[in-house]
Structure 1
Amino acid sequence: MPATSFYERVGARAFLSTAATESPWDAQAQHGGPPAALLTRAIEDSVAGEGLAIGKIDLDFLGPIPQGTCEIEVTTLRPGRRVRLVQAVLSCEGRPAVGARAWLVSYDAGRAPRTGAEVVPPALPGPQPQPPMPGAAPEWGYGRAIEWRYVSGGLSGQAPVAADGVTRAWMRVRVPLVAGEPTSDLQRLMVIADSANGVSARLPFSDWLFIPPGLGVTAGRPPSSEWMLLEASSWSETRGTGVAHARVLDSEGLCAFVAQPLLVAPRG
């Protein structure tokens, strides 16, 4: 394992990143998933005990997220007991690096019936060799902090591409978000959500850039099991734009939807 957690707490609002956050492209930068989860954590903590859950969270990556100490500030933009809008900003080296806005909605067990078509996930495969990220160092931290088991598609041909072009990968977060502190189910989901773009890429990483400046997650509920299935696909247009999107499921069915805008361009 690259580290025993993604972050270590160094203050009331300050956290030190570990090697588990390491980006596949730059060892001095963080993968987007752990910071997204850390912002989710700060928002959840800000409404602890109020019966509010994140229904939708939109994140903006304002540039490379450097390794080191980061601080988070949370503000309420639209107060409310049933619906509330909250903003959180993660700053590194004195500058904002990631911004998040989240709509929180009230919840109460048994308040409404479950509706919609039942979604049955494919079975979890047995253990697999962990796939390398093409073009990245084999020891990149985030990749080793997650266990991956592919059903279809995936990095380096880990599994055959499905006829519908969807990559289906079961993923499990292997370390806590913050050392010595519990990780919520939604935080675990956010750790993997930013992988939608990477696992579903259809052009070779060696020749093409896929830059997602943001990440949007709409959650019906948090996952109830440690393994989560990411059903991801992406497409690009000739003008160099694209979209990556995914469904997140657990053993009980559908949990959330993920969407990312993409800048697509040749490398070099």
Structure 2
Amino acid sequence: MAYFERLGERRFRATEHTGGAWDLETQHIAPALGLMAHAVETDRDRRRSDGLVLTRVSYDILGTVPIAEVDIGVEVLRKGRTIELVEAVLSNAGRAAVRLRGWLMEPRDTTAVAGSSHPPIPGPDELEAWDPTTVWRGGFIASVEVRRHQQEHGRACYRVRTPQPLLADEEVSRMAAVTGLLDVANGMTVRAEPTDVLFPNVDLTAHFFAQPQGEWLGLDTTVSFGSDGVGLTTSVIHDERGPVGTSSQCLTVRPTSQGPGSSS
């Protein structure tokens, strides 16, 4: 079963595989972010045939989303021959829940100057299998396979993949599939146990300097908590060739009544 089923041009139904992880009655937002990227690419392909590629996706998460039907609308904010800025809005029952702004850019051959100083991470065969359901609940977390090297609390490199397609009976790009996994970063190397501290992210922004390829997504992640209730999860994104981009997530950090820093 896929994460979503298409019901119409703009309407989709979430399946049980989108569930969790903070609340089992709502979606883990990761697959929805991938679905929105797919909607942007589908709209692009309806309008033009010159192959602009997504190079930045910036999501603002406006609220939780039930495991139910959602609608996605796409609008071009800045038209251009080689660069476009587009916006997609995912809504449920008429309420906007996630807003995406993405830059589409014309690809060209820059092989002669290509390179990055981000260090590589081990391949999937060099990492130990890790079960994320030991920390998190929900259908989405149960659907992913993770191999990880944990350096300390809040610091790890890992590879993740899923056998679940993003959308039933419809081909999606590797970029859309990757963006449908990026939000796992905030939970794959926790700085504090989620039973002690709540730290959901309110956004996710990813920049790509190369289009991701291959089956395994790689992330080199650091989680930071400040002293005033704000945190940040930052990651370098890898495919099986090496680094391809970066992502960041702003966190609202909230100790529970039993957690560290509580007055109880």
Aligned residues: 253
Residue aligning to 1:18: 15
Residue aligning to 1:58: 58
Instruction: Say if 2:79 and 2:85, in contact at 8 Å, map to a contact too.
Output: yes
Is 1:172 aligned to 2:161, yes or no? yes
Map of 1:85-234 to 2, 5 A cutoff? 85-109=85-109, 113-117=113-117, 119-125=119-125, 128=129, 130-134=131-135, 136-137=136-137, 140-150=138-148, 152-153=149-150, 161=151, 166-234=155-223
Higher mean C-alpha displacement, 6-15 vs 106-115 = 106-115
Moved over 6 A (4+): none
Shift of 1:91: 0.7
Is 1:32 aligned to 2:29, yes or no? yes
CA distance in 1, matches of 2:112, 2:54: 17
Alpha-carbon RMSD across the aligned residues, in angstroms, is 1.9
Higher mean C-alpha displacement, 122-131 vs 65-74 = 122-131
Shift of 1:251: 1.5
Residue aligning to 1:258: 247
CA distance in 1, matches of 2:213, 2:86: 25
Give a deviation string over 1:186-220, Cα, whole Å, max 9, x none. 11211221111111321121110102110001011
Gaps of 5+ in 2: 258-264
Shift of 1:41: 0.5
Secondary structure in structure 2 of the residue aligned to 1:40: helix
Residue aligning to 2:260: none
Give a deviation string over 1:223-242, Cα, whole Å, max 9, x none. 21111111111111111111
Residue aligning to 1:82: 82
Instruction: Say if 1:241 and 1:264, in contact at 8 Å, map to a contact too.
Output: yes
Secondary structure in structure 2 of the residue aligned to 1:211: coil
CA distance in 2, matches of 1:51, 1:7: 25
CA distance in 1, matches of 2:239, 2:43: 26
Gaps of 5+ in 1: 154-160
Residue aligning to 2:42: 45
Instruction: Say if 1:121 and 1:250, in contact at 8 Å, map to a contact too.
Output: no
Question: If each structure's helix is expressed as a fraction of its own residues, which one has the higher value?
Answer: 2
Once the two structures are aligned, what percentage of the paired residues are identical?
A: 29
C-alpha distance 129-100 of structure 1, shift in aligned 2 (>3 A): closer
Higher mean C-alpha displacement, 108-117 vs 167-176 = 108-117
Shift of 1:244: 0.5
Give a deviation string over 1:96-117, Cα, whole Å, max 9, x none. 1111001111113467631333
Higher mean C-alpha displacement, 15-24 vs 45-54 = 45-54
Higher mean C-alpha displacement, 210-219 vs 110-119 = 110-119
